[in-house]
Amino acid sequence: MTTRPGETPASFACTVRAMHEGDGVLDVMRGPRGGSVVSRAVARAPLRLLTPGNHGHAAWAFLSSLGGGFVDGDAVSLEVSVGDGAAALLATQASTKVYRSPRGCGQRIRATVGAGGLLVVLPDPVVCFAGARLDQALDVELGDGAAVLVVDAFTCGRAARGERWAFDGYRSAITVTRGGRLVLRDVIELDPAHGPLPARMGRFDALATLIAIGPGVELAAPPSPKRGAACVASRSAIEDGLVLRAAATGAEPLHAAIRAALTGLPALLGDDPFARKY
């Protein structure tokens, strides 16, 4: 856990006691010598926040959990603040597993990005086990000249164990605003009550949505779709940004498509978050 310069342990303890299970706070600010630093990182179980160093100018934070994923009834809420001119990467150590959850699991991230700031949200794909139910949301408020880059990906589950599209529900909502004005609202919802998922998903076992909004962030154009390809993707323009959607026959071709779309990310962060993955 990290405190702001000058913050006393006593006042920090009060902040922790006011939080509930699964709550977290992450603050990133521009450092006095340039670059960005984590000024506060607090998390209550089952949520964990890891803030390793890197060779770039952005601060990195990784979401983790004590159980390696979500179990029935888990509810995570994270507040993220990126200061003016600061840059932050929010990622995960590995894929987020969602175990059987009759009551459901939830995750919500609320982020504010100050003027000229940058937030990159780059979690590994979600993997929902049979009987799992997940409802997650990401809300981002951008300041003047701020930018956000989001990857939202998930797979069919444990196909090797016969759990292909066998979860009970998956919903992921992304909202981006700037100055209180809606820029983007994107929702993906899969529910077997709307029809059998394996039949609806066809040959595809992994999906991803990539969103780039604001100056300096980009999504490389995907190759032209070909019949029978392991991954198909399309890119479309939105106000002040781009959206890319990809569907793949497995996790590996999806990872390859994500990396190809984010070829400019290492230069944007000053370090490569993919270097030790995939």
Distance CA 113, CA 81 (A): 6
Contact predicate 65/11, CB 8 Å: no
Contact predicate 156/201, CB 8 Å: yes
Contact predicate 235/219, CB 8 Å: yes
Q: Before 46, cis peptide (omega within 30)?
A: yes
Distance CA 158, CA 53 (A): 33
Q: Are strands 105-113 and 133-142 parallel, antiparallel or unpaired?
A: parallel
- The sign of the torsion formed by the CA atoms of 220, 128, 78, 271 equals negative
Min mean pLDDT across 17-21, 109-113, 148-152 is at 17-21
Long-range CB pairs of 225-228, under 8 A, 24+ apart, other chains included: none
The predicted-structure confidence for 203-240, as pLDDT tens digits, reads as follows 999 999 999 999 999 999 999 988 899 999 999 999 89
Distance CA 87, CA 114 (A): 10
Fill in the amino acid letter for 55: H
Indicate the length of the chain as a whole number. Answer: 278
Distance CA 25, CA 160 (A): 37
Classified as helix, coil or strand, 198 is: helix
For residue 249, what are the contacts with CB-CB under 8 A and spacing of at least 6? 203, 204, 205, 206, 230, 231
- Start-to-end C-alpha separation, the chain: 29
DSSP secondary structure string, 43-61? E-TTEEEE----SSSSEEE
Alpha helices in 170-262 (DSSP H): 197-201, 251-261
The predicted-structure confidence for 187-202, as pLDDT tens digits, reads as follows 999 999 999 999 999 9
Contact predicate 211/187, CB 8 Å: no
The predicted-structure confidence for 48-82, as pLDDT tens digits, reads as follows 999 999 999 999 999 998 777 999 999 999 999 99
Considering only CA atoms, which of 101, 84, 18, 27 is closest in space to residue 61? 27
* The two three-digit tokens of residue 130, written as one number: 């049979």
* The two three-digit tokens of residue 47, written as one number: 């949520």
pTM for the structure as a whole: 0.91
The predicted-structure confidence for 238-275, as pLDDT tens digits, reads as follows 989 999 999 999 999 999 999 999 999 999 999 999 98
Domain locations along the chain: 29-201
State the average pLDDT for the chain. 92
